[in-house]
Chain A
Amino acid sequence: MSGIWVVIEDRAGRIGRISWEAVSAAQKLASQRNEKPNAIVVGAQTESLAAEVASKGVAKVVRVEHPLLSQYTSDGFTLALEQLFRAESPDFVVFPHTYQVRDYAPALAARLNQVLIGDVVAIEDGPLFTRQLMQGRLAGSYKAHGAGPCFISVQSGAFRGETADAGTAEVTTFSPTIEAGQIRTKPSEPFRGAAQTVDLGSAQLIVAVGRGIKEADNLPLVQELATALGAELAASRPICDNGWLPIERQVGSSGQTVAPKLYLAVGISGAIQHLVGIKGSQCVVAINKDADAPIFEVADYGIVGDLFEVVPALTEALKAARH
């Protein structure tokens, strides 16, 4: 047998959005040859996972099941999937580009003398797989030449997961041979990072407030926005100098350096001392009433307007979007 395969990843029985996006990518590849992809779920007990996947427009779901797969280990997953792929010789295997996949898929590919094309953002005819180079400054198209399976992993958000078709697929079980001695690493249960009160450095979403807020009494307005977004609250130096927010929330050259996915700057004009602290941000959004404020120079999205109007409107819109 051959075909397009997709590996589903779960965390404690829950399948994340990125796995559905991988399914869509696999469907895109498969549709070029009028096929549906086959899905793989891996674990010690995969029945309910398989049932969930079976309804998502796949041809078949294979439950790769073994007691030693109850917890993820690179050795266990590599062994199990190696055996499956040796048996099935797929043409393409699609993974979600997760930390877990990055941990074992390169080794799995190498074991089959293949190379994983990781972090794919687009698939073009050929097929050519596009991925980012030079930290997003360039894009490169990759092609696989090997006789064996072509492994790719897809970047979160690159393929819309919502487009997954409905349908009911056949479910089979594959039981790999794994011995306890073959698993060399012993992972612990996942834990949350040390309970720090504020850790802006590792925050993914940050709402930062500057002098535009005018008075300490207006801070709850921005706090509500941060809550609606699920973001940490941060501030520019003058806010902390005034004691309106504690110093550990200060971003900039004399405070924290941050690298979030989203940095939403409210009423911050953007002095250099502040800008150097946020240059690692992937996306900067600025709300400021001064259209000439330097923060707009570095922002990806900007709204020129009165923050006392824009912020409440944004909080409302976010709350609505979350439902």
Chain B
Amino acid sequence: MTTHIQTSASGLTDDRPSASGLIVDRRELLAGAAALGLSTAFAGPALAADTPKKGGTLRLGMQGGSASDSLDPRTYADSIPIAYSCALWNLLVEIDAKGNATGELAESWEAKPGAVEWIFHLRKGVHFTSGKEFDADDAIYSINLHRGDTKSPAKDVLSPITDIKKIDASTLSITLSGGNADLPFVLSDYHLLMFPAGTTDFSKPDGTGAFTLETWEPGVRVVLKRKAGDYWKPGRGNFDFVEIRYIIDAAARTQALMTGQVDAVNRLDPKTTNLVMKNPNINVVRSRGTGNRYAFVAHRDTKPYDNADVMLGLKYGIDRQKIVDTVFSGFASLGNDHLIGPTNKYFATDLPQRPFDPDKAAFHFKKAGFSGPFDLEVSEGAYAGATDSAVLYQEALKKSGATLNVKRVSGDGYWSNVWLKSAFCAVYWGSRPTADLQLSQAFLSTAAWNDTNWKREDFDKIIIAARAELDDAKRKQMYIDAQKMISDDGGMICFAVSDYLDGYSKKVKGAEPHARYDLNDERIAEKGWFA
């Protein structure tokens, strides 16, 4: 387990002939040499002489935060808090560009057979800003912030942990209630930052990260200052200052980037991305198929969605390609009614993509004896483009003789008032680091966020068994079976998996696509440098 990530190991391709803006594509990167061969013209200069150098102020224009943002890790839910927190602190485990778990403050780990008991070896010689050396007590304290009686959103993923013990100052043992081969991925959750043991006041950050907090004005800006001396990760932490500007309006963000008022932005509007790419000073980084999964979810225990034929009609009746092309301007992959993204290694490639087939949909509606009206509740508060997607869905369903009423509701309070309560509504699911988290959080009978009320014992069994399965081939087959069950029988119409779209000034280096989040896993502050 090495921590240093090969920042130059990425392939750079441009598969959009019209664009002079550079597009970096992760899927083709995974495809290996063939893809690289096709794109040497672009890959050559970008790969050459990419040695990080120090200095400069990175100005980031970001969406995904508000004046209510806090420094308390138990409240994080959006991009900006993730971005500043991982510049100030570190996690035990980091996710590399390809989606593997690599060590951060944990140097290495091993699982006892059955993957119930785990040993983590912590990195020695890493110090907090206050000068204290990071050790096992800190790690235990920090993880326990999210266990037991806590408000933390990470409580759910940590619930299988039954015990955390210190073996010595730099060794930790974690015991689970059942086997889970993915524990390192669980520990890469962005909430699980490492604090000095006993920290209760998070407003005065004392972290092991590359930066210290210079200005804290949530909703306006956050300024980070590089710590003196060498950062413990070689080649990282290069900018003297990083200034995160809150720019919530997508058009304002794009404009700020194009006119050079910021050096990088997240969440480009897919509709204008093609136009942004025409700007010769801008580098658009596209992380394909790692973004949000956009879906409409129906409660399988509620009429008429308890009828399997109604569900199939709704699934065949949606024109996914049209939505991807118009609402997301092609910057998305087709969804196949489950949540595993096309770049995940357990993605069910042999599960055929569900086509748009109005006749088949009409057949199923007829068999069910019901073709609407269906009431679909949507909101831009669920995700940008939900309303437009629903309107196109409504149009497409007309072709199979079904009626859909699109009911737009307030984005304000959507997650507490509509989602999980409405029988048919819009939802997005973020990318999770593992197939297990991705599926179990949404589809297990016992899951708190099972938004389709779909409950099947045989499915639960597969997921639990796959967790502890260490034979990768067997494990893959289990996940494929699980995906098939959800796709055929579940209540989710997942029609698109979006791409992350970052915009960078060409002078920003280290701007790569990442398997998990945008802006290089929200770590561009730590990973980037100026040419």
Partners in one complex: no
Q: Which residues of B contact A (CB under 8 A)?
A: none
